[in-house]
Amino acid sequence: MRNAAPQQLSYASAMPHRVDQQLANGHKHAFVGRSLRKTYITGETEVHALRGVDLDIHAGEVLVLLGPSGSGKSTLLNIIGGLDRPTAGELWYYDTDLTALDDAELTRFRRANIGFVFQFYNLIPSLTAEENVRLVTDISDNPMPAAEALELVGLGERRTHFPAQLSGGEQQRVAVARAIAKRPGVLLCDEPTGALDSQTGVRVLETLAQANQELGTTLILITHNAGIAAMADRVFNFLDGQIASVMENETRVPASEMAW
């Protein structure tokens, strides 16, 4: 890792890192992590969630994290997204050392650069689909209109509907629209199809792949479903808090062609 002091993001006017800009400036990696460790202490018990993880995440790639429960996938995703901090090690987002940021700076990093999609949709029941998306766009620096984000996920005609009037797959697509509406440089997805049937899950994966292709978003996706790995550029296989192996796909399989 470089010895020079890192160039910090200017959060007052922070803009998401566009992949084309970063590659033009010679950046191949969106994230670089070295010797990442995370230890949780409960009473006299220590849980080593991450055990010295080294990683390079390419700008604009689709990366799938596979592994059993408790293997460290979600812990790593939370650290990458600025929701948690490593106990030890370094994590860089382009030229910014995330481990050197204070809490306020880490919050501004998340707001400017990270979109989250979780297994459960976390929609506000009393708000329409469009209003749920606007919860994010109203506090973002350069968002797309909420209606446009819903159009991108195929829900333009459902924008005035409340969550109870939408299917599970439609609710998850609203969550995807909410995540991409601020034009994030990175989209982090933790089991986004875990609560869906396979047909609906494929539709959600198609939406995520579209965000990667059309917006240039780096897509990192956690799943227990090995079949989903075929849509990735690379796959990190986790075991016991470490990346046990890395698999690279020669070609990405379109989500529409997957089944499980």
Q: Model pTM?
A: 0.84
At 132, list the tokens: 């749920």
Task: Identify whether the C-beta of residue 227 lies closer than 8 Å to the C-beta of residue 260.
Answer: yes
Task: Please report which confidence band the pLDDT of residue 260 belongs to, taking 50, 70 and 90 as the band edges.
Answer: low
Task: Identify whether the C-beta of residue 202 lies closer than 8 Å to the C-beta of residue 256.
Answer: yes
Distance CA 178, CA 209 (A): 15
Helix (H, G, I), strand (E, B) or coil at 57: strand
Q: Does pLDDT of 221 surpass 60?
A: yes
- CA–CA distance from 103 to each of 10, 39, 51, 92, 136 (Å)? 15, 19, 24, 16, 20
Q: What are phi and psi of 179, to 5 degrees?
A: -70, -40
Q: Does pLDDT of 87 surpass 60?
A: yes
At 69, list the tokens: 């429960």
DSSP state of 4: S
Q: What percent of the chain has pLDDT over 90?
A: 69
Instruction: Tell me the average pLDDT across 196-225.
Output: 89
| Burial grade of 73 (CB within 10 A; 0-12, 13-18, 19 or more) | buried
What's 58-84+113-251's CATH class? alpha beta
